[in-house]
Amino acid sequence: MLIQNFLESAAARFPDKDAVWHKKEWMTYAQLEAQANRFAHGLQKLGIQRGDRVALLYENSFHYVISHFAILKSGAVNVSLNTETSAQPLEYLLRDCEVKAIIAAGKYLPMLLQMESALPDLKAVIAEREILASSPAFSHVRTVALEDLYSQGSEHPPVCETQETDLASLVYTSGSTAKPKGVMLSHRNLVSNALAVVQYMTLTPDDRILCVLPFHYIYGTSLLYTHIAAGGSVVIENRFAYPNVALDTLQETEATGFAGVPSTFAILLAKSTVRKRVFPHLRYVAQAGGAMVPSLQKEVAEAFHPVKLFIMYGCTEAAPRLTYLDPDALPSKWGSIGKPIPGVEIMLAGETGEIMARGPNIMMGYWKDPQGTAEAIRDGWYFTGDLGRMDEEGFLFVVGRSKDIIKAGGNRVSAQEIEEALMEFENVSEAAVIGVPDDILGEAIKAFVVIKPGQSLNLEAMKTRLKLRLSVFKQPKWIEIRDNLPKSAAGKILKNELKA
């Protein structure tokens, strides 16, 4: 089975059903399928062949969804890129993936013009006609209007020889701790994971997800795939900078699901009226994209009660889901990431050790990086880099990152453990902990905290309380109060920027 089969099946079963909502308008499954097919035929006429990499640089929108499925229907490989990029990292990624065509929003054309000569494989730039008309011309790259691809070609799927083992998406890691890597995910990887999520979340055609996460982020991609696989609906909301606006959309569209990363929920609790609202149609909220400390889990569960809260764990290399915590188990397993999803096996390297995973969802490897692939996948097991422990009932707990360990004075300290202690303070909304160079200790512990609006923080009182909570060698040497923490477009805290 191929990813585009999700859309084709839903369009055949529910042609007139609302598929995607954006800016107060709905697009039906029949419309989405027809547009994606026309676009795919257009890509093939441009010379795009099976296995070619086509980049997509667009915020969540009808354009994004149509283009995403069109790329796959044409037999090409989708390379969805972070929309908060700048020229240097963008050029690196486009060169690295040997991009053949790029579908881009107009604001990126000046950058693409500057790097044209550095992209020898690039054959076509696709953008909206109005933007192309007012933009300087490219010297050797062909420019094509999006509208032309929508209006030409057959409404039926193009001939495609793609196999389920073929590369479907090249997803670049955020680079929050290191240089971005291209994670190679096959159709089989993505399809198997989407179907497993549909199963354990019992998604149906009646489900409607509010998406505030960018689709270029693997968690956002998963929301798109799973709800189309179920024949459900996707509501695009790009205005989460105004959290109450997002909550208005949640209510107005009668969404049954909402998903976010820890910072998404921290923002809702601190900067919105979520506790004062009622969501009669909401069935579940889901969290992934990093560890959510137990204190925040409890706040979220209380704010959305009686809606089910799914705690989930995974990574880009797993397409992306590995485990989930059944909402019914949450009250007795705060802090747990649950048990493996259907089709996935989990094993620990030791009683408390690195989490390893095996299943049909595990990546093909890293793009042009055989050494990195060999280090990550050994004897059929993917080594996640996360440290975990398992209780007597088989519930898994993440205790830190193997690469997020601070070596302070000869002691190995988990940054996550300190972050959890900081988040126990009622007036703290976010926390991040890093190691900084120290002449005596080798590394010293530095903490960054964001205070909830309208509240204050007594640092000396905090340090006194931490002495009761943490061992001496785990005490932060410095605590810095910030208005916010640097984050990726997906909401992950960028510790490399804090270190810089």
Inter-axis angle of helices 415-423 and 459-469, to 10 degrees?
Answer: 120
> For residues 389 and 333, is the Cβ–Cβ distance under 8 A?
no
342-376 burial, b for 16+ CB within 10 Å, e for fewer?
A: eebebeeeeeeebbbbbbbbbbbbbbeeeeebeeb
Residue 401 to residue 315: CA distance in whole angstroms = 13
Q: Which two tokens stand for residue 187?
A: 């159709």
Give the single-character DSSP code of 91. H
CATH 3.30.300.30 segments of the chain: 405-499
pLDDT score for 499: 84
**What are the structure tokens assigned to 322, written together?**
């590995």
**What is the rounded end-to-end Cα distance, in angstroms, of the chain?**
45
**Predicted local confidence at residue 176, as pLDDT:** 44
Q: Report the CATH superfamily, name and number, of domain 405-499.
A: ANL, C-terminal domain (3.30.300.30)
- Name the CATH superfamily, with its identifier, for domain 187-362+370-401: ANL, N-terminal domain (3.40.50.12780)
Indicate the pTM of the whole model.
0.86
Q: Please give the structure tokens belonging to residue 403.
A: 């690469």
Distance CA 467, CA 54 (A): 53
pLDDT score for 408: 74
Closest CA to 159 of 74, 101, 32: 74
Contact 79, 57 (CB under 8 A): no
Distance, in Å, from the CA atom of 113 to the CA atom of 143, rounded to the nearest integer, reads 11
CATH 3.40.50.980 in the chain, residue ranges: 4-17+25-162
The CA distance from 208 to 282, in Å, is 9
State the SS3 of 142-195. Answer: EEEEHHHHHHCCCCCCCCCCCCCCCEEEEEECCCCCCCCCEEEEEHHHHHHHHH
User: Range(s) for CATH 3.40.50.12780 in the chain?
Assistant: 187-362+370-401
- What pLDDT does residue 177 have? 44
H-run or E-run covering 405? strand 405-408
Edge to edge, the sheet with strand 182-186 lists 142-145, 124-127, 101-104, 53-57, 77-80, 167-172, 182-186, 365-366
Tell me phi and psi for residue 173, to 5 degrees: -65, 160
For the domain made up of 4-17+25-162, give the CATH fold.
Answer: Rossmann fold (3.40.50)
Which of 387-409 are b and which e, b meaning 16 or more Cβ less than 10 Å from the residue's Cβ? Answer: bbebeeeebbbbbbbeebbbebe
Model confidence pLDDT, tens digit, residues 17-40: 999 999 999 999 999 999 999 999
Q: pLDDT at position 262, please?
A: 86
Q: Give helix then strand counts, H and E, for the chain.
A: 16, 27
pLDDT value of position 439: 65
Q: What is the pLDDT of residue 123?
A: 96
Q: Where are the beta strands (DSSP E) in 200-338?
A: 208-211, 233-236, 257-260, 284-287, 308-314, 321-325
Q: Which residues of the chain have pLDDT under 50?
A: 176-177
CA distance 63 to 101: 16
DSSP letters, 470-492, are: S-GGGS-SEEEEES---B-TTS-
Three-state SS at 219: helix
Beta-ladder partners of 386 = 401
Q: In what order do the strands lie in the sheet with 233-236?
A: 25-28, 18-22, 233-236, 208-211, 257-260, 284-287, 308-314, 321-325, 339-340
Residue-wise DSSP of 2-46: -THHHHHHHHHH-TTSEEEEETTEEEEHHHHHHHHHHHHHHHHHT
Cis amide leading into 320 (omega within 30)? yes
- Written as six digits, the tokens of 425 are 């303070």
Are 490 and 289 in contact by the 8 Å Cβ rule? The answer is: yes
